[in-house]
Amino acid sequence: MTLSELTAIALRGGEEILKIYATAFDSETKADSSPVTEADINCEAVMKPLLARLAPDVVIVAEEAVSAGDVPAEAKRLFLVDPLDGTKEFINRNGDFTVNIALVENGVPVAGVVYAPAIGTLWAGSAEEGAFKATVKDGQIGERQAIACRNAPESLVAVGSRSHGSAATEEWLKRYTVERFVSRGSSLKFCLVAEGEANVYPRLGRTMEWDTAAGDAVLRAAGGIVTTLDGRPLAYGKRQQENDVDFANPHFVAFADPLLATKLAQDAG
């Protein structure tokens, strides 16, 4: 499958989100205490059959379906889908929310699309096609602009969560000289690293695989890497974990410059 096919599905999901965004919508709280809106549900309902038609042999792991107890069998190839990443940002109407679709093969995110419908910007990347950014207007994607990570300077630009910041993150960053810290919501943080606007994104807090896989795929395609705190590449399709639920991530760091990740692994060792 091509990035164009995946982006078309993400754009279709974004249409459903913007329909709700323009109304006086309500939100509910799920069992894990995270919020959910009609936009999350409608977007997922539109995209799942499109993905199933595109790749019938690929298992679909979608956030709202899993939350409702629909957990598919283990598979080596799967789509990880977050129909509305950054629901808190959606509720606060600040634009920092995204549609996330990732293709994972043997634990590695090999293709991903991150679409921010409110700000009209889409990022996509794959191992075969590289990474790009594009403007979206009236549901149509414009010219692709190739993006790439940049080597780490002496003073870094760090990006972190708008809604889930922590003292632990601030402490972790003290190992580096940080010139500036930028707060953004959803998987947009990965995209800032991928396009060279930031150097590092540490996340010392709770995330699930559908939160990160698409942004991770874009970042890898742009030349970056996402690792656990001991320097191992972040893996996907995690099931039957000893200390956590299926698809839960450990703490991780997204790096624009893989050399920074190498140093982290050496320090951990």
Give the DSSP letter of residue 208. B
Residues tagged in the binding site annotation for Mg(2+)? 63, 82, 84-85, 211
- In DSSP terms, 1 is beta-bridged to none
Distance between CA atoms of 203 and 190, rounded to whole angstroms? 11
Distance between CA atoms of 119 and 133, rounded to whole angstroms? 13
- How crowded is residue 204: how many other Cβ atoms within 10 Å of its Cβ? 21
**How would DSSP label each residue in 130-144?**
EEEEEEEETTEE---
Which amino acid, one-letter code, is at 81?
A: V
Q: What is the dihedral of CA 173, 179, 183, 184, to 10 degrees?
A: -100
Cβ-based burial of 229 (10 A; exposed 0-12, middle 13-18, buried ≥19): middle
Q: Which parts of the chain are beta strand (E)?
A: 27-29, 35-37, 59-62, 77-85, 98-105, 108-116, 121-126, 130-137, 140-141, 145-146, 156-161, 178-184, 200-203, 225-228, 252-255
Residues tagged in the binding site annotation for substrate? 63, 84-87, 211
Distance between CA atoms of 117 and 84, rounded to whole angstroms? 10
Cite the DSSP H helix spans in 22-161: 38-54, 63-67, 87-92
Residues tagged in the binding site annotation? 63, 82, 84-87, 211
